[in-house]
Structure 1
């Protein structure tokens, strides 16, 4: 390893240095303490051997694209220690040129070990919460290989919809409120982790008993969320109430025929009404093992037909405006 890079190893955070092929050239003692790997045991390995399988593929795509273009990349990775334990880290990877050769310097901070009072910028904190919630949601639904794309689309489209609806209806929501809804929307179906696969992925019609089991997943999801919240700092899930409302009520319908509580109209929390329309739209326009995808036009026509029945009429109008703005 070039001597010019040795100074990075003196930093007070965990540091890993790799060559342009991402083979490990050196680590510092803080990296050893964090991961349990000694310097001599991992030099020469590709850095990817630490992967846990939980970090979303889109995170690695973003990482590779930035590094390929010679830019530094910052984000949240979930890796495994030598013990097998999972650890979440906020990491910045920076490309460094030394004598016409490329190297990468990764600086890690283990999120589990951050003390109260450690400063994170507002933007960085928002990004970190978003990534960790994505990891949590995907972990709960890891049985479905296509779920990551669905969850990411729901999160992105929910954010667009709440921004448009807030402006259109002059609700006066703060940026923080908008982030709470957008970030928590990704958790909407975590209760499906408790549903047997034979029911969840059944290609044919469900029996009344199977339908009853499916309709319990909002209650199961709320139970999962409450169990998680007892184990973590509430800052991880910025607004527990918003997340719980989305999980519990995103299958309620405007006319009161939904489940599990048969709420009607504005009895259904706003955040649940937002996630409901986005979830249905993405489900309709996505190919699944048991169905073909609909065209966007056909899906929008269905939403319009269900205005005042399944969906909040004002929310449907705001959703349509999202597509007008996109065009």
Structure 2
């Protein structure tokens, strides 16, 4: 096991497995792209990290003699120097309970043996990029904390300074979301513009004029990209699974609104009360955009106007974009077919007034979809 190399631009991986054959295969596979260090047991891996050995990501066998992989992961996550290192389990265990235990220990993903070499490369690359984005978010948050501390001594803050802090916070969240989900980038831009268009269309509607002044529309537009921020907490094996999710996987996936709410709440605490923070709209959208007008949605089963307006706008925008977009599990629908499906959900899935607004600006929706095509 080698120690940290100064000025080495390549990420460093620590591969931990008690089987020499597996270590050799992974060292050969990953060595073309990364600096690879190996350990033949959990104790040696913990020693390597404790002595300052560099590890930007750890591939960890779950079943090893003497020190079980789950315990190694727990110890890594409990120690400040190593708690932020991504851990991916390599395991022959394929039970849901085993995977749940590994994720609860702090692992970011499971790769099942016998593993596919391209899958290992893809998972390693994605988790390294996710870790990089997480570091970027932390640095931006530290910067924002310094800005808040410095400005708290001043009686007045200019409007431009406040907007800059808001934009930096949202930008950091968006960077994290885009690094985590392969399909996020243009989907974020399209849904953001759909929400803005719907809000402008409804601005003078008698039911909504008191909620949709110019500042509210601006914040809705800025907050819309955070609707799926909770997916950063979903294991990649579920988030980017090419086939149909199992019932157990759906239970995990359906928790992303709660994860999104919690993440935004933590950020909102830095700016004061969550109910008055500029992140209020982001929280509403992240937590409630899967609620349905008839009360059959999740996670709370809200109905009608109990669902925040911001989330009702996002529900229409999100479903429209999902329908017109090609996915591994479905073809893309035409603009006209997508509109027909949404009209069928008027009064059940969607707020009727928001659907009516969509129909009035259908050409603007189509133009947005073409401008930000995948």
Normalised by the size of structure 1, how large is the TM-score?
0.60
CA contact (8 A) 2:181 2:239 kept: no
- The aligned counterpart of 1:233 is 271
Q: Which moved more, 1:241-250 or 1:301-310?
A: 241-250
Tell me: CA distance 1:85–1:217, structure 2 relative to 1, closer, same or farther (3 Å): closer
**Which consecutive unaligned segments of at least 5 residues does structure 1 have?**
1-79, 90-109
Matched, 1:165 2:202: yes
Tell me: CA distance 1:153–1:85, structure 2 relative to 1, closer, same or farther (3 Å): closer
Q: 1:141 to 1:194 in 2, by over 3 A?
A: farther
1:295 paired to 2:295: no
The 10-residue stretch of structure 1 (254-263 or 124-133) with the greater mean CA deviation from structure 2: 124-133
Task: Tell whether 2:300 aligns with 1:264.
Answer: no
- Cα deviation, residue 193, structure 1: 0.9
Residue 357 of structure 2 aligns with which residue? 318
Q: Which of 172, 177, 182 is residue 135 of structure 1 equivalent to?
A: 172
Runs of 4+ in 1 over 3 A off after TM superposition: 83-89, 110-115, 117-122, 124-132, 232-238, 324-327
Preserved contact between residue 134 and residue 186 of structure 1 (Cα < 8 Å):
no
Partners of 1:154 and 1:279 within 8 A in 2: yes
Q: Which has more strand, going by share of residues?
A: 1
Cross-structure match for 1:95: none
Q: RMSD of the alignment, in Å?
A: 3.1
**Residue 236 of structure 2 aligns with which residue?**
197
CA distance in 2, matches of 1:275, 1:214: 18
- Evaluate the alpha carbon distance shift between residue 256 and residue 111 of structure 1 in structure 2; reply closer, same or farther with a 3 A threshold: closer
In the TM superposition, residue 270 of structure 1 has moved relative to its aligned partner by: 0.7
- Count how many residue pairs are aligned between Structure 1 and Structure 2: 224
CA distance in 1 between partners of 2:322 and 2:136 (Å):
35
Residues of 1 paired with 2:333 and 2:171: CA distance?
26
CA distance in 2, matches of 1:300, 1:128: 37
Change (3 A) 1:163 1:85: closer
Cα drift, residue 259 of structure 1: 0.6
For structure 2, the residue ranges without an aligned partner over 5 or more in a row are: 1-131, 368-374
1:250 to 285, 289, 294: 289
> Is residue 189–residue 217 contact of structure 1 (8 Å, CA) maintained in 2?
yes
Cα distance in 1 for partners of 2:303, 2:140 equals 40
Indicate conservation of the 8 Å contact 2:193/2:221, yes or no. yes
Residue pair 2:198, 2:357 contacting (<8 A) in 1 also: yes
Deviations 1:107-132 (A, max 9, x none): xxx7665442586555x854763464
Pair 1:279-2:318 in alignment? yes
Is the contact made by 1:180 and 1:238 (CA closer than 8 Å) also made in structure 2? no
Q: Equivalent residue of 2:320, what SS?
A: helix
Instruction: Give the Cα separation in 2 of the matches to 1:256 and 1:145.
Output: 31
Contact 1:200 1:214 in 2 (8 A): yes
